[in-house]
Amino acid sequence: MPGLKGRLRAWFEPEGLDIPAEIKNTPKTPRELDALGIPQAFDAVFDKLYFDMAGSGAGWLPAIKAALATLRTDRICFGTDYPHDMHTAQDIKSFIDTIKQLDTPEQDKRLMLGENIKRLFKV
């Protein structure tokens, strides 16, 4: 999803927004998006979503960093595609260790490693 967020935002046209005819129903540039105030409207919707880390290439660091650059950490949840991209408990532990070693605040790591799930499912 981190790689697609910009594309989704470029096409986003909230109801009631007066979009010039020449760019309506087309992807908008970052300049056009900013001029129309679309990033704020898009984020109001997008930031309600939660994302799991499954499918990130068994804990592949570039994918995790892309998620951190584009998604709010209070919306990222640990997950794996076990047994498809991870085969043993050792693989899962390695993935968790990768998250724990990230250069990001400890609170963000706690959110991703379980606090978000607790809040989401009220457990």
- Token output for 24: 């309506």
15, amino acid identity: E
Q: Is the pLDDT of residue 56 over 70?
A: no
46, amino acid identity: F
Q: Is the pLDDT of residue 58 over 80?
A: no
- Over the chain, what is the mean pLDDT? 92
Q: Is the pLDDT of residue 106 over 90?
A: yes
What mean pLDDT do residues 5-27 have?
A: 95
CA–CA dist 27, 11 (Å, integer): 5
Q: What is the pLDDT of residue 59?
A: 79
CA–CA dist 86, 50 (Å, integer): 22
